[in-house]
Amino acid sequence: MPILFHVEQVKFSLAGRKILKAWVRQVAEAEGKTIGDIACIFCSDSYLLSLNKSYLNHDYYTDVITFDYSNGNTIAGDIFVSVDRVRDNAVDYEVSFRSELCRVVIHGVLHLCGYHDSVEAERKIMRAKEDFYLKNLPLSSIEVELK
């Protein structure tokens, strides 16, 4: 099944898509899941804010929203990533834009795998999983650019 990348309302480029797709597959397999259809949509703050308001009744900016269409052990869904939030978070956390972008993408994948982050204990588990899987990604093979 495909893992697709799209861009909405932001000037953004991503190279190394095959490596990123393979990494997402490895994470899913490590979590005992198979890949269904996954779309990762890189978008602007305003685009993601409108989704947040429309679908979740939240009136605030966020870095990622995941719509889960998984069925059993097959994960599927749409992962919307605000590249504006990722850029700001990278500065705040003193990490590269590329690293923070990959962290947010895998955060969405972990949601598809059944992880949650609504309480502190869940957030700690998610963060540990993100850190673990980021160590297995050849970050230098992924090129991202905000234009």
Question: Under a CB-based contact definition with an 8 Å cutoff, are residues 101 and 108 in contact?
Answer: no
Model confidence band, residue 48 (pLDDT cutoffs 50, 70, 90): very high
Looking at residue 53, its pLDDT comes to: 94
Q: Which residues contact 94 (CB under 8 A, 6 or more apart)?
A: none
pLDDT value, residue 142 = 86
CATH of residue 26's domain is 3.40.390.30
Domain count, the chain: 1
Q: Indicate the burial class of 125 (C-beta count within 10 angstroms; 0-12, 13-18, 19 or more).
A: middle
What residue spans of the chain are helical by DSSP H?
Answer: 17-30, 45-56, 83-93, 97-112, 120-134
60: containing domain: 3-146
**CB contact at 8 A, 61 and 49:** yes
Return phi, psi of residue 49, to 5°: -60, -40
Q: Which of 26-40, 48-62, 82-96, 112-126 bottoms out in mean pLDDT, i.e. has the lowest?
A: 48-62
Helices (H) and strands (E) in the chain, counts: 5, 6
Could you report how far apart the first and last alpha carbons of the chain are, in Å? Answer: 30
Q: What 3-state DSSP class applies to 67?
A: strand
pTM of the predicted structure, to 2 decimals: 0.94
The predicted structure's pLDDT at residue 146: 74
pLDDT tens readout for residues 50-108 = 999 998 898 989 999 999 999 999 999 999 999 999 999 999 999 999 999 999 999 99
Q: Which of 5, 48, 43 is nearest to 24 (CA)?
A: 5
Q: Would you state the pLDDT for residue 6?
A: 95
Q: Is the pLDDT at 1 greater than 90, yes or no?
A: no
